[in-house]
A and B are shown apart, each in its own frame.
Chain A
Amino acid sequence: MKQLLDAFSSSRTERLALIILLLLILCALAAPLISPQNPYDLAQLNIMDGRLPPGSVASAIGIEEGAPRGLHRYWLGSDDQGRDMFSAILYGLRISLTVGVSSTLLALAFGLTLGLLAGYFGGRLDTLIMRVADIQLSFPAILIALVLLAVLGQGVGKIVTALFAVQWAYYARTTRSAALVERRKEYIEAARLLGLSTPRILFRHLLPNCLPPLIVVAALQVAAAISLEATLSFLGIGLPITEPSLGLLIANGFQYLLVGMYWISFFPGIALLLLIVSINLVADRLRDVLNPRLQKQ
């Protein structure tokens, strides 16, 4: 752990990336507390406040009695429905991160298990699993996700499923190659001679030694999953329109770019950019730290 911290403190760019990433995660976690509006609650939106430029004050006109809202400023402007862009971005970050992380974890667990089995047992099982993975990888990720979502419909759970289906093969491949190398080593031999059960050998002995490359792949894949989710939402098939993720927010503002209402697309775009770049930089650094060959130099 200390080694990790050291690694980040030694480079200014990566330290900055780590700080930004942590900040974004914090914002996403605290979204309900710090955002002036709940963008998912249609009763809190006011269509008369639609398309206001950044810094505008929320109007009180058109709000019926009892509607729970105080006056606030639209610091980053509002979209066509009167959704506060700042609140929408915070909530959008939440969705993007949730989708990215949960689909990656699911795919990691599944792909890793298959990869270990393939690498450890070899033979027909190996061929079967790897050919399925090959077929999966021969299609572009976006295509598979598009088809799946067209069948499944909209929703957070469904987009996680689609991203999971797209990603697991990467982990299966990476794990298998690591496992192939590791299973010939003497400690596995020793474990086998001791008569340990196969699951125990797989998960207690083989797995920990295959982990470092997987962590790096997973960290990079979180960013890839987030951007794939944004792409799908941008194309209008990911999430329902009333629960916007960053990609959907960008898509929403797309038609206003020609009119000069830049803020509807621009700010979510910046947020997405920051998120993906910071994850990538952190993952990159992580790779350097976990790669023993680079460390020795």
Chain B
Amino acid sequence: MNFSIKPRSFRLSACLTSLAVALTFATSSVSSQELKIGLSSSPAAVDPHFFNNDAISALCSHIYEPLIAIDAEGKLLPTLAVSWRAVNDTTWEFKLRKGVKFHDGSDFTAEDVVFSLDRPATIQNSPSSYTTYTKAIAGKKIVDPLTIQLTTAAPAPLLPNDLTRIFIVSRKAAENATTDDFNQGKVEAGSGPFKLVKFSKGENLQLSRFDAYWGNKPAWSSVTLKFLPNDPARMAALLSSDVQLIENVQANLVSQFKANKDLTVFEKMSNRYMFLYTDHRDTSPFVTDKAGKPLDRNPLKDVRVREAISKLIDRTVLTERVLDKLGVPNANPAPPGMFGHNPNLKPDVLDVAGAKKLLADAGYPDGFGITIFGPNDRFINDEQVLQAIGQMLTRGGIATKVQTQPMASYIPKASKKELGFGLLGWGVGGGEPSSPLRGVLATTDKDKGLGTSNWSSYSSAQYDSTLIEALRTVDDKKREKLFQEAAEIAIKKDFAIIPLYNQVATWASRKGVRYLPRPDEATLAQFAHPE
């Protein structure tokens, strides 16, 4: 799963924290050797194979490297593998980089790749397992110490994209290590630009430069990533020079920060795709008539009703006003420029009259009642966005109640399909749109890993067959066309989900620090440079 969960931070305690931060007169000045970063998440582990979660991945990206990485433009970047090619439909061959050393001094070879691909399956109690990306691999053949062949049962053209999610660890260092050993920094199993010094859960992660790194060595000799999930506390930390770089600037402060001469703001349209899922089942728990009585059929099942909802939402107001410009209306799981982007898919524009006509045609001239759900601590201004959508739907005749809760309690309920209608964001990683197409829109089939987050309960044979064909097509051009077709069926024709916008990710630094913004929203010290 590509959404990450950050713990609810209590505003009260944060209030005190920000006060404390403001009172501790900053003693640190920007030195080119030391970097302190304020993160908006507070990850619970730094074991690279324990929990498939964006925030943990970002932390681990300092210490560990995959065979293939994603660059700042979202494209595949040779990392521990220098090149790869499809030998035949079911076999991929990877040439590994020569002369790479792990932090413990051992050399990187194909043995380590085999060990790292096997390790996710040995992890017990993973909240979300990395086996999603390794499951397809049926055989691993070491050709020579720097060449490995991976075979799959069915054609897997996306295997290189999946491998961007798997970090490679040193077999020698990690063979008998547990997740606790990783968290306590007992194993030096990484090959990344930084070595782990100390991980203090809920506080910070301390790193030091790895001087034997094979690539460009980072400018910082030591880096501290501070976990500051509370927005005002993180802002105050930057303003008081307690940290030199922060991620996720509080939306309403962006313009103020831009005007501040001591600060620089960096922005990038994120590939986090925000949408509403809609319940396609016969009955839905929170859909009622206007008086609040249950209905015997679910209006959301009618595609005209879903289209009407889409037409009632003014995406310009959402992005310009509610998000303070930190959003771009978008209907495509693959944003412009990404492989699989479909130019025919355009975000709906506000059309109240059209929506009312569609509702009347569907048999609901007076509308109905609904509750919209969503998190209040995960996405940019999520609570405000949900309330604004509530306003817009209510104006159009659909009496809407809004219920928000911390992400940690929202996700379990939504994934059990207890809610029916709500907001979700999906980070479209790997440089192509297959993860949302598989996870959100395909008919749910747990064994095949399809529809794992299909909270709409959408099921279309036409869509499924197009998608499955795409996932097996090795030819890039043909596959891209099939991805475009599939997205058009589900979103433009069936309104399986109601697309809203893509977030704009932000970073802010103090003078003297530059950051290269990334569409995957990750904050990585190696992408920060002294000015």
Contacts and interface: CB of A to CB of B under 8 A. Distances in A.
B11 A241 contact: no
Given A47-B321, A240-B403, A242-B401, 20 more contacts: A41-B394, A42-B390, A42-B400, A43-B391, A45-B391, A47-B388, A67-B395, A81-B384, A150-B409, A154-B403, A154-B405, A234-B11, A236-B404, A236-B406, A240-B401, A240-B402, A241-B386, A256-B252, A258-B236, A259-B253
B41 interface: no
B232 A241 contact: no
Contact of A254 (B11, B390, B409): B11
A81 B252 contact: no
Contacts, number: 82
Nearest to B232: A258
A257 interface: yes
Interface in B336-356: 352
A241 B404 contact: yes
A254 B232 contact: yes
B394 A43 contact: yes
Contacts of A47: 317, 321-322, 388, 391
A289 to B, nearest CB: 36
Contacts of A231: 12
28 contacts: A42-B390, A42-B394, A42-B400, A42-B402, A43-B395, A47-B317, A47-B321, A47-B322, A47-B388, A48-B317, A64-B395, A80-B384, A81-B384, A81-B387, A81-B388, A236-B405, A237-B405, A241-B383, A241-B386, A241-B387, A242-B390, A242-B402, A254-B232, A255-B232, A255-B250, A258-B250, A258-B253, A259-B256
Contacts of B388: 47, 81
A255 B15 CA distance: 10
B25 interface: no
A277 interface: no
Interface string B1-22: 0000000101110010000000
Contacts of B253: 258-259
B235 interface: yes
A196 to B, nearest CB: 49
B231 interface: yes
Interface string A42-79: 11011110100000000000001001000000000000
A251 interface: yes
Nearest to B250: A255
Nearest to B408: A150
Interface in B108-164: none
A125 interface: no
B128 to A, nearest CB: 22
B376 interface: yes
Contacts of B322: 47, 80
A132 interface: no
